[in-house]
Structure 1
Amino acid sequence: MTAAFTDPEGFYHSISNVRLDENFTLASVRLSPSKKSPIAMNHYTTIGMPISGDTVDEMSQCVKTILADRKNLMVVSVPEINDEDCYYLVYPSRSGGQLWGPVHRRSHFGGFVPHFEGKSRVRICVLSKSGDPFVTDDGTTFEEVLEGRFLGVWDEDGMVLDILKSEGQIELHKMAVMSKSGEGAIFSGYGFMDRSSNACFLAFDFECPNFGFFGVHTPTPVAAMVQLSGFAREVQTFDSLEEYKSSKSKDEIKFASQFFGTESFNDGMESGLNRNGTFALIVGHVLESELRSNELTGQPFYWALVQTAGGMEIDVVMHPTLLEGFGIKPPQVGGVLLCYCWLSGLLLSVSSD
């Protein structure tokens, strides 16, 4: 079972089949294949977390060091699972960077996944969920599912949930929505249009570090509030809206200064969720920006609160090395940020209303 994350290029590391003893001591670890990136970063180091390395020993040593840090390591129970032996090990920092590690039956540790806890609050309608059951080396599968992802639609006014309640279901189609002002595309991906209002809605999926907080028997669709973060893999910054608009040639694909595009369903229309689709291309206005330091390691990273299409706000984090690699300046308040990022959403609440 892969507990962290991978991508088609093998750019990021992933820990699988990790075991803990009763004292939270690492018993075994195996690293999935990866190749060295020209940029020395991963989703962990993007937020200054101490998980890096190119070998099994290097990665396992990082995890051992974290598990030994009892001062900062927290045990978080799962309210929707009636089993005190299933919980999350959370390694938080004051900078907002976090690691979430699911533990099954007190000894089976799923490895750490990263998240950044920021200021965004995104109301969505959850269309479906896809969990990753924990499977041991001997083939035993645990019923408690603590890892997974959601497919949702931004639903600030509750329209999507109302539409689904009245129509029963919707069919998603590939779509692109252009701005009425002619500034370019606003949405691109798979979504649907409400015939009565002509409103368009884009679906996107995201990894959820506290997936177990979503009730096992909670029906979908359902309204939820998430704190959504994007871990930048490619990025461009512009000091002003005017600079962004003037940077595009006539031959380039034109995105509005507030654009949200998703890769969801590229390979997974049948199952409803694409395992490699938790990525998005975002263009947005920078509302806040800050160079932060993760006090656990002393490593810096940049954070920006970005307002994208429709007014949706997303926290975006980026490694300084990434900015250096693209030869660009840090995001500036009042400017525009364009990035291709991995999406992680922390579940804050679920409501059927």
Structure 2
Amino acid sequence: MPSHFSTIGIPVTSEQDFIDIGQRAARLAERHKVQNGAYYCWQDESGAALWLQLDENDQLIGINPHFHGQALFQVAILTPIKRPHDSPLDGAIRGWANGTAAAPDSGDFPFVFDLPNLALHPELHYPAQVTIRLAAFAHELTLYESAAAFAKRPDPRLQLAAQAFIPTGLFTENDEPPAAQAVFTGTISAWAQKQNGLTGQPFYWFAVETLGGSIDVVADPTLVPQEPVVGGHLEGSFWLTGTLL
């Protein structure tokens, strides 16, 4: 399975690669001071982004890949989520797609998304209705050239509709915290092969309409064996990362 870094054109295969890419990005990044440290955000014209985390001693403690797209998603946020191995600057939120602050659990579905910059929003209160830019990093991906091809797929996953969203990250065992993962299907309204400005490596971007709204999907080229088609469909499993407007 591709890594979240290779999904936006940044091949990382070793700890040294991780350090090198962090140093290169930091020289071009914008600094954001927060409690417990600072974020350094690098972003290029393709939308690929890295959020570097530095502690109060300016030591690198983490790097989160991200994609800054244009898709807007309405969410009622319910609670922040902390996981045992999170750094102080990691963040995740449980919410409902298209829920409201007055009735947050009355939306289309519950889900969890990670945030690369949650510490920039100490004023957040819960529940609240917010708009986010939501990106989905493909773990697995299948493309279909038309609705007819999607309907005739030989092994339809869970018999999903053409626009469906299953928040698989909520289904955990042994009281583990929920993950920012989902399986969904959707219609491709636009796509492009993009190039990461830091590495020169390609990756794919899709604008996808699915249950609940629009999502920017990005994928490692190894997951895209044929040319996508506008108006076609996709199906896959994804990591979800978002930023608040």
TM-score, structure 2 normalization: 0.89
Contact 2:183 2:238 in 1 (8 A): yes
- Aligned counterpart, 1:228: 134
Q: Answer yes or no: is 1:316 the counterpart of 2:222.
A: no
1:85-164 equivalences in 2 (<5 Å): 86-131=37-82, 145-155=88-98, 159-164=99-104
Distance 1:335 1:110 in 2: 41
Distance 2:228 2:235 in 1: 10
- Aligned counterpart, 1:142: none
- Aligned counterpart, 1:210: 117
Q: Answer yes or no: is 1:76 the counterpart of 2:32.
A: yes
Distance 2:72 2:216 in 1: 9
- The amino acid of 2:134's aligned partner reads L
Q: Give the superposition deviation at 1:42.
A: 1.2
- Aligned counterpart, 1:341: 238
Distance 1:268 1:212 in 2: 28
1:58-101 per-position Cα deviation (integer Å, ceiling 9, x unaligned): 4333333434xx2x2221244xx5xxx73211111111000001
Flag the structure with more relative contact order, 1 or 2, with Cα contacts below 8 A and sequence separation at least 6. 2
Distance 1:135 1:317 in 2: 24
Contact 2:208 2:215 in 1 (8 A): yes
TM-score, structure 1 normalization: 0.63
Contact 2:100 2:128 in 1 (8 A): no
Contact 1:46 1:319 in 2 (8 A): yes
Root-mean-square deviation (CA, aligned residues, Å) is 2.6
Distance 1:75 1:330 in 2: 38
1:1-353 equivalences in 2 (<5 Å): 41-49=2-10, 52-54=12-14, 56-67=15-26, 70=27, 72-78=28-34, 81=35, 86-131=37-82, 145-155=88-98, 159-164=99-104, 201-215=108-122, 218-248=124-154, 253-267=158-172, 273-274=177-178, 277-310=179-212, 312-323=213-224, 328-348=225-245
Q: 1:296 to 1:65 in 2, by over 3 A?
A: closer
Structure 2 unmatched ranges of 5 or more: none
What secondary structure does 2:133 align onto?
Answer: strand
Q: 1:117 to 1:235 in 2, by over 3 A?
A: same
What secondary structure does 1:125 align onto?
Answer: strand
Distance 1:63 1:87 in 2: 14
Q: Give the superposition deviation at 1:214.
A: 2.5
Q: Give the superposition deviation at 1:132.
A: 6.1
- Bigger radius of gyration among the two: 1
1:210-269 per-position Cα deviation (integer Å, ceiling 9, x unaligned): 1112325x33111111110010011110111111112246x8631110010112332269
- The amino acid of 2:226's aligned partner reads K
Distance 2:77 2:226 in 1: 36
What secondary structure does 1:43 align onto?
Answer: coil
Distance 1:338 1:314 in 2: 13
Q: 1:132 to 1:211 in 2, by over 3 A?
A: farther
Give the paired residue count: 245
Distance 2:136 2:5 in 1: 13
